[in-house]
Chain A
Amino acid sequence: EAQVTQNPRYLITVTGKKLTVTCSQNMNHEYMSWYRQDPGLGLRQIYYSMNVEVTDKGDVPEGYKVSRKEKRNFPLILESPSPNQTSLYFCASSLTSGVRQTQYFGPGTRLLVL
């Protein structure tokens, strides 16, 4: 089944404790991205990747890191999480970034930073 998976789905952590949220897609998609969803602010793009070893900042990259060493995986890294990073995170992928791209979203990861 073609899908985007994220792990973990729920995470409670403390300030400063490094964490990684994994994202994997099995559709051979080139384009992958991370978003956070916050009430009243909608979806905001954190980072995106046009292909392997190519990453760019989205609208809210501060406090996050990403890597794209292989096509299927696009982990989101919080080196030193802070409470303002408490949010619902979505990973998405699409075949390309072209005009007919359709973003396929993962199920979301709900993060609470104490």
Chain B
Amino acid sequence: AQRVTQPEKLLSVFKGAPVELKCNYSYSGSPELFWYVQYSRQRLQLLLRHISRESIKGFTADLNKGETSFHLKKPFAQEEDSAMYYCALIGYGGTSYGKLTFGQGTILTVHP
């Protein structure tokens, strides 16, 4: 079974401070991992995907297969980063082909 765990339900930082949202996963095959973000009163939207190795809005995430983690990081948090963040995994093995699993979500609040 595939599983995504975000250990922090709430995370508060001050503007300009570094931020790291943790994500750990459990999957027997080679996963594809994503971070989605939901700003207040907006739809959930893709922030970044591990395969692209891109930086979006200053956020980066590196897939660490040894630690089965995909933590989201930003060196200097901004107030507009306040949102709900979801880590997600899509599986392509066996009976779970194409199944997308989300973590529980982390609410990030950036204080001025």
- Point out residues on A near B: beta carbons under 8 Å: 31, 33, 35, 40-45, 48, 50, 56, 58-59, 90, 92, 97, 99-103, 105-108
With both chains docked as a complex, state the minimum distance between the C-beta of A106 and any C-beta of chain B, in angstroms.
7
Name the residue on B nearest A38 (C-beta). Answer: B104
User: B102, A45: Cβ atoms under 8 Å?
Assistant: yes
Contacts of B6 in A (CB 8 A): 42
Task: Give the distance in Å from the alpha carbon of A38 to the alpha carbon of B80 in the complex.
Answer: 24
With both chains docked as a complex, state the minimum distance between the C-beta of A63 and any C-beta of chain B, in angstroms.
18
0/1 per residue, B94-112, Cβ < 8 Å to A? 0001111111110000000
Binds A, one of B44-52, B59-67, B69-77: B44-52
With both chains docked as a complex, state the minimum distance between the C-beta of A4 and any C-beta of chain B, in angstroms.
8
Contacts of A97 in B (CB 8 A): 90, 97-98
Q: Which of A43, A50, A105 contacts B43 (CB 8 A)?
A: A105
Name the residue on B nearest A92 (C-beta). Answer: B44
User: A42, B104: Cβ atoms under 8 Å?
Assistant: yes
If the complex has contacts A35-B102, A45-B100, A45-B101, are A100 and B46 also in contact, measured as CB distance less than 8 A?
no
User: B99, A50: Cβ atoms under 8 Å?
Assistant: no
What are 8 A-B pairs at a CB distance below 8 A?
A: A33-B100, A35-B102, A41-B104, A42-B103, A43-B105, A59-B99, A105-B45, A108-B43
If the complex has contacts A56-B98, A58-B99, are A99 and B104 also in contact, measured as CB distance less than 8 A?
no
Q: Which of A33, A99, A103 contacts B46 (CB 8 A)?
A: A103
User: B43, A107: Cβ atoms under 8 Å?
Assistant: yes
